[in-house]
Structure 1
Amino acid sequence: MALRNLMTPKQIQVLNSYLNDDWKYMILSGAVRSGKTYVDNYIFLLELRRVRKLANRDHVAAPKYILAGYSSGTIYNNIISELENTFGIEVKYDRRGHFQLFGVEVVPAYTGSSRGIGGIRGMTSYGAYINEASLATHGVFQEIIQRCSKDGARIIADTNPDNPNHWLKTDYIDNHDPAARIKSFHFTLDDNTFLSDDYVQALKAATPSGMFYDRSILGLWVTADGIVYRDFDQRTMIINQEQVPEDLHIYCGVDWGFEHKGVITVWGDDEDGNIYLLEEHTSQYKYIDYWVRVAKDIQKRYGYNVNFWVDSARPDNVSEFQRNNINAINADKSRMAGVERVAEYMKLGKFFIVDSAIDQFTSEIYQYVWDENTGEPKKENDDVMDSMRYAIFNEHRQNKTQFINSSYF
């Protein structure tokens, strides 16, 4: 079978560079589902075979190699399970979480925090494969590189884009000093020619405009700019009560406040996957007994099984809700993932606001802007925005649309 039947032209280009060029670092960056990790997984296997030969040259019986990722879960999902499914390789861990492959001891390192590299401190490695490299802390990345001190050691890495001032971009991808011996490749979604046109068009249509589209589809290292929810269109998304369907699935988001505004938003989903802001309760200088009364009134009108996705920053308030038989659940507050999920509904035209519900919503959404220094939304004009994010992101975390879960490469 020809190689072009197994790999895309971009993947073949990377493989040719791996086999023929002189390099120390090989970094693949770019769009989601573009084929970066697939070819890096293949190169990882080739690297282990090469390391075994280097170890034979050095008369080393048990050479070590670092396999790094944000967490044990991401290493398994992105690499181990793909090796098992694609290449039929069975990985058996020892009591330390290491495994042997092609006569090489593979040692995991977790890059999400400095604690994740305890297992590689002091070791000497013949190389490293760093998955989701932009998520690594800078110190962990440097520690991994320092461990790869054997003659002939090399580092491969893949990543989605981040802020253009990210150290991985400025110090490595943009480093064109020949002495550094860095090879970098940029991937776009369209580089994955094995994806169906239907999948690609659906993903493009659903990806929010601006930074999310530029990074996820075009694979660009761009900064955020302007308002966060660029696809919100009040001309089509603000509706009257008569346009709201019946038989909605109801849930709420809660952002505690006192000096700044506290908010409870009430949301409803219809059977077509549309979401509706039905009520917004926003007040300042209110104690918890006020918010209990608001929540009890919502229960009275919509049912006692309504989920209240709450800000976990005030455990005393959460406990007070629960003591009053209000189904308060600590929300996953992941900002970027939550913002992207909300923005996705707007891009798809499945997001609506009932005009009678509006208090501070429209004021906030046009003042909710990106912080160019952090690449995240500014912590300003965000009370209703946080309540919205808690509700929508958490209520739909286990109900991702098909194109979000679909993957081959």
Structure 2
Amino acid sequence: MTYKPLSGKAKRSVQLATARFNIWEGAVRSSKTVASIVRWMKYVRTGPGGNLVMIGKTERTLKRNVIDPIIEMVGTRRCRYLAGAGEVYLFGRRIYTAGANDIKAVEKIQGLTLAGAYGDEIANWPEALWDMLGTRLSVPGAQVFATCNPAGPVHWLKRNWLDRSALWIGHDGTTSTGHASDPVDLHRFSFTLDDNPHLSPDFVESLKLQYVGLFFKRYIQGLWVPAEGAIFDMFDEKRHVTDDLPAISRWISLGVDHGTRNPFHAVILGLGADRKLHLTREWRWDSAQKRRQLSDAEYSRELRQWLTSVPVPRSDLTGVAPEYTIVDPSAANFRVQLHNDGVSARLADNNVLPGISTLSTLFALGLLDVHESCRHLLLELPGYCWDDKAAEKGEDKPIKVADHGIDAARYAAHTTRAVWRPIVRPGLPIAA
């Protein structure tokens, strides 16, 4: 990958990142991460001596989002990542690496005396980790350089830190100081997608089509807005419900939301000859309605028997064999049962917000429809809403009511995105 010289807001942000805390936030692909990396590399070369740390949501995402681009910029002689050792060497300096996936991450930096830190995806960190990081920066002149995408307006990072910045380059490019009544030593740089002049117009338009509703406001406009209202407000029964499936070229996956007291729901995702995805059929067992609760062995038997009876579109055949069976992560025992019955199953990627974004993108671009026979799923989609009470606490959560078919569909599509994405629309940047 070729990195072009920084310009505009990105260049200014590097020059103005002189505070104790420096945060680049806003839209995806807006050049904020590249600008933060350039400033971090300068700090590694010229900053005070002492321990340095780089922290991401996970070490895997830290490597993908930050360390790999650094290696592309400076080469493997100047940047060497030691996988499994929790260290990266940049310009000869050892830098500790860590993931921030839960509250236990606090223990990873407890006791360290730090001269500097880089943080990736900090809006996804536990607040306690960010607070602990500040207490570890005791070397004179220590600085933090960090990035994030927006979340809700009452998120702890915005309320306690960004809104109190001593200097702010806003979304419109204007620089302001003294806007906070109780400022902290923090410089804030807010980006929109249009702040990156190096993206092609076609790619920018593709991204703007990809994101809708909440995700458009956050990931394109860079705004800290609440999750409210209907989640799939782009879903249109006339556009997205079909009674006539095309020939299915690949049966991609079977998504399973396991339930005992709650309904058990399974949906099949197929890739059509039209290069679109289709939720073709569903199977559901509601123990409360049927007044009988099935064991995992019975669920496995019933599900496998149902798959043999599913009609194949444009054919006289019945019976499908999905390439992947994707199971609710909380149903590890059911996965074992499937394995014992000869079915290889994977635990689903249950990162809810990216999964919702994947389904939203597919619906928005007209790349996913639902067969009319999936009547339970179709009943759930219009009423699937954000939880207002969670939003008041700065959390993005759907209301956990009537969502079993949606969860199954999310597992089926989001977990297998690496399989269908190159075929459905090459280059489509579905949420990671």
Report if the CA contact (8 A) 2:122-2:146 is conserved.
yes
2:167 match: none
1:292 aligned to 2:327? no
Change (3 A) 1:404 1:305: closer
1:224-263 equivalent positions in 2, closer than 5 A: 224-241=227-244, 243-263=245-265
Residue deviations 1:312-356, cap 9 Å, x none? 32334333333333343322222112111111110111122222x
Residue deviations 1:2-31, cap 9 Å, x none? xx961131112212323xxx6222111001
Shift, 1:391, TM fit: 1.1
Shift, 1:298, TM fit: 1.1
Change (3 A) 1:351 1:50: same
1:197-216 equivalent positions in 2, closer than 5 A: 197-207=201-211, 209-216=212-219
Alpha carbon RMSD of aligned pairs, Å?
2.6
> 2:319 is matched by which residue type in structure 1?
Y
Distance in 2, Cα, partners of 1:239 & 1:16: 54
1:127-138 equivalent positions in 2, closer than 5 A: 127-138=116-127
Moved more, 165-174 or 323-332: 323-332
Distance in 2, Cα, partners of 1:334 & 1:406: 10
Distance in 1, Cα, partners of 2:420 & 2:248: 21
Shift, 1:96, TM fit: 5.3
2:192 match: 188
Q: Which runs of 5+ in 2 are unaligned?
A: 165-179, 288-292, 310-317
Change (3 A) 1:263 1:181: same
Distance in 1, Cα, partners of 2:81 & 2:239: 54
Distance in 1, Cα, partners of 2:323 & 2:80: 44
TM-score, reference length from structure 1: 0.87
Q: Which runs of 5+ in 1 are unaligned?
A: 56-62
Change (3 A) 1:75 1:144: same
Shift, 1:229, TM fit: 1.0
Identity percentage of aligned residues: 24
Report if the CA contact (8 A) 2:250-2:272 is conserved.
yes
Residue deviations 1:360-388, cap 9 Å, x none? 12221111111131312111110111111
Secondary structure, in 3 states, of the residue corresponding to 2:375?
A: coil
Say which of 221, 226, 247 aligns to 1:223.
226
Distance in 2, Cα, partners of 1:360 & 1:160: 34
1:358 aligned to 2:358? no
1:60 match: none
Report if the CA contact (8 A) 1:64-1:106 is conserved.
yes
1:91 match: 79
Report if the CA contact (8 A) 1:111-1:141 is conserved.
no
Distance in 1, Cα, partners of 2:196 & 2:123: 21
1:95-110 equivalent positions in 2, closer than 5 A: 97-102=86-91, 104-110=93-99
Distance in 2, Cα, partners of 1:282 & 1:406: 28
> 1:343 is matched by which residue type in structure 2?
S
Residue deviations 1:40-63, cap 9 Å, x none? 111012212332xx44xxxxxxx2
Report if the CA contact (8 A) 1:250-1:302 is conserved.
no
Change (3 A) 1:180 1:349: same
Distance in 2, Cα, partners of 1:268 & 1:260: 26
Report if the CA contact (8 A) 1:8-1:191 is conserved.
no
Distance in 1, Cα, partners of 2:4 & 2:240: 45
Distance in 2, Cα, partners of 1:130 & 1:178: 24
Secondary structure, in 3 states, of the residue corresponding to 1:366?
A: helix
1:58 match: none
> 1:77 is matched by which residue type in structure 2?
R
1:38 match: 34
> Which structure has greater helix proportion?
1
1:378 aligned to 2:366? no
Secondary structure, in 3 states, of the residue corresponding to 2:114?
A: coil
Residue deviations 1:378-407, cap 9 Å, x none? 111101111111111123244434131899
Report if the CA contact (8 A) 1:282-1:359 is conserved.
no
2:427 match: 402
Distance in 2, Cα, partners of 1:266 & 1:106: 46
Report if the CA contact (8 A) 2:193-2:220 is conserved.
yes
Say which of 386, 389, 394 aligns to 2:410.
389
Shift, 1:106, TM fit: 2.2
2:275 match: 273
Say which of 304, 320, 343 aligns to 2:360.
343
Distance in 1, Cα, partners of 2:371 & 2:151: 35
Distance in 2, Cα, partners of 1:258 & 1:96: 42
TM-score, reference length from structure 2: 0.82
Residue deviations 1:122-152, cap 9 Å, x none? 2222222212111211111111111111222
Report if the CA contact (8 A) 2:348-2:415 is conserved.
yes
Say which of 373, 380, 383 aligns to 1:367.
383
Distance in 2, Cα, partners of 1:123 & 1:378: 40
Shift, 1:244, TM fit: 2.8
Say which of 146, 152, 169 aligns to 2:158.
169
Secondary structure, in 3 states, of the residue corresponding to 1:10?
A: helix
Say which of 65, 71, 93 aligns to 1:78.
65
Distance in 1, Cα, partners of 2:259 & 2:107: 40
Say which of 23, 27, 34 aligns to 1:27.
23
Change (3 A) 1:328 1:101: closer
Change (3 A) 1:246 1:74: closer
